[in-house]
Structure 1
Amino acid sequence: MQIIHLTYPIKENIFPTKIVLALGFFDGVHRGHQHLIRTAREKATEKKLPLAVMTFDRHPKSVYQGADVSYIDSLEEKAYKMEKLNVDYLLVMHFSDAFCKLSAQQFIDEIIVKLETDTVVAGFDYTYGPKDVANMENFPKFAKGRFDIVNVPQQSYDGQKIGSTEIKKAIVNGDIELANELLGSPYMMSGKIGHGLRNGHKLGFPTANLVWQDNKVIPKIGVYATKTKIDGHWHDSMTSVGYNVTIGDGKKVLIESNLFGFDEEAYGKKMAIKWYKYTRGEIKFANLDDLKKQMEADETEIKAYFAQQS
């Protein structure tokens, strides 16, 4: 898969042929998004054309409303998921001031048509400007027959609406299992291993401290059953999200993973965490002995959880 960064006004002749173009922001690349992209993939295969997916480098709300938006996926994580879905091109449009001022007709004429689009595939609620005008109902009017349009209906899972908002709410509430069901895969955070206070080493539970990208959705404070990847290998692990209230200063949220059977210096290396289950909240212990006993109990519980999953 090739990643192409676009800036308005876009160049012509980016692709050697016409394309099938899937539209959306695709935060989380959840089950609903996957259905849409697979629909687009089928259409591209049928027409023997490459599949391109267009997203933005930031959420439109952060521009139109000045909102502080949190994200399920970083661009790197989104690209990883897109490649697994057999996308040929991931187009990342820079959501500039000039781009956000385009009218609905200009968006079609100067973006969709200029990309030599044969077919557009988008969700029922996709908008490309003010939603009372720039909606899927009006899309054919602006398209003027220059390309085909596939309107994908809303998707649900076990009676639950599948949407990025619902998934973010589940993550923040610690309902990781629901979030994962809607995502279709475990929620993931990635970054690098940073330096900590090494308190875990003193207790016999060395931890890798995640330094993550800003604006990622942070799971509820507490302890989780997780899998953590270092040096390309996944390890069963228990991960704490908290303020280190027993030992630390209690001012900054830390994400610390104890990898079962792993005790190596790995500062500065890439690290990823997959989240599976919330096991308990953060507790302030009277002393380190009580903290160590609880961590031993956490390890036993989480190992048993993964043993049941295998």
Structure 2
Amino acid sequence: MHTVQLTFPLPEACVADSRVLAIGEFDGVHLGHREVIRRAVERGAELRLPAAIMTFHPHPRQVLGIDKYTQLLTPLAAKKEQLEALGVHTTYIVDFNETLMRVSPEQFVEQMLIPLRVNTVFVGFDFTFGFKGAGTSDTLCNLAGGRFAVEVVRPFELRGEKVSSTQIRNLLLSGDVQEAGLLLGRPYKLQGRVVHGDGRGRTIGFPTANIEVSEDYVIPANGVYAVVATVRGRKVGGVMNVGVKPTFDTGLLQPVLEAHLFDFSDMVYGETIEVELLGFIRHERKFGSVQELISQIRQDADQARFIIAERRSMQNL
């Protein structure tokens, strides 16, 4: 997959060949996004044209100062990885800045889409563009003026409910990683670097990899989760705590991520690790003693092993 950085406005006819284009922020690249992208890729194959994606960085709502969007389901690197897996030929990453934020829908079409020589544009049903979201899919159809086709993809529903990034975000913030994974079409993933912690896990018989996330991911609710980590190319099951370790009165304000990996003893400080969250086990709480905590961790680990085994058996069906 080719990745191309774009800045408004584009020079006239900035590409040589026509293309099919899907436009959207695509945070999460969830089932609804995948439907838009799938349609674009299929149309590209039908027309023997490359299928491209236009997305925006930073996230427009980050630029607009909407607090809940300071963290993302798929920061840019994770998003590109997902798009490539879907068969996208080119991803255009448009610099979303103060200038672009103020362009009119007409300017966006004339100075962003026309220079890309788009043949067909695919957008979601709730697509908006231009200053203050003044343009809609209907506006896009009118402004196309027969120069390119516009395909509006209906909302993607699962069990009668529309799939959305907001819904997935809310599920994660409540700890429901399993339902979030269903809407994403894959387990929710976090990636980060293994850093030194306080070493307390090792002293109580449960050494942990302390993970410092690499980008501004949405961090799920404080609690204990069944996880599968990818480290040094190997998939390893484990149990991960997200929280502030109240039993030890650490005084932490921001949650830390500590993963105890089963049957894994390699020293991986400084290395990158990716964690898939498969299931919620319990909320974080303060225990009356260290022994009580140790007993609970044993139970958490057993439950995590069960969840992981169940997931693996389902994948083999």
TM-score by length of 1: 0.96
Secondary structure of the 1:114 match is helix
In the TM superposition, what is the alpha-carbon distance from 1:68 to its structure 2 partner?
Answer: 4.8
Percentage identity across paired residues of the two chains: 33
- Aligned pairs for 1:67-146 (under 5 A) are 67-69=67-69, 70-130=71-131, 133-146=134-147
In the TM superposition, what is the alpha-carbon distance from 1:13 to its structure 2 partner?
Answer: 5.1
What code does the residue aligned with 2:74 have? D
Partner of 1:17: 17
When the two chains are superposed, the root-mean-square deviation of aligned CA atoms in Å is 1.5
Give deviations 1:270-295, integer Å, cap 9, x for gaps: 11111111101112122222211111
1:31 aligns with 2:31: yes
1:268 aligns with 2:247: no
Ranges in structure 2 where 5+ consecutive residues have no aligned partner: none
In the TM superposition, what is the alpha-carbon distance from 1:214 to its structure 2 partner?
Answer: 4.7
Partner of 1:277: 279
Please, which of 292, 296, 305 is the counterpart of residue 290 of structure 1?
A: 292
What code does the residue aligned with 2:170 have? K
Give deviations 1:84-140, integer Å, cap 9, x for gaps: 100011111110111111100000000011111111011111111257740001212
Partner of 2:235: 234
1:169 aligns with 2:173: no
* Range with bigger deviation, 277-286 or 127-136: 127-136
**C-alpha distance 154-130 of structure 1, shift in aligned 2 (>3 A):** farther
Partner of 1:61: 61
Partner of 1:196: 197
> Within 2, Cα distance between the matches of 1:141 and 1:281?
51
TM-score by length of 2: 0.94
In the TM superposition, what is the alpha-carbon distance from 1:16 to its structure 2 partner?
Answer: 3.6
What code does the residue aligned with 1:96 have? N
Give deviations 1:252-274, integer Å, cap 9, x for gaps: 31011111111111111111111
- Greater helix fraction, Structure 1 or Structure 2: 2
Secondary structure of the 2:136 match is coil
Secondary structure of the 2:306 match is helix
> Within 1, Cα distance between the matches of 2:108 and 2:262?
51
Secondary structure of the 1:118 match is strand
**C-alpha distance 292-56 of structure 1, shift in aligned 2 (>3 A):** same
Ranges in structure 1 where 5+ consecutive residues have no aligned partner: none
Secondary structure of the 2:152 match is strand
Please, which of 299, 303, 306 is the counterpart of residue 305 of structure 2?
A: 303
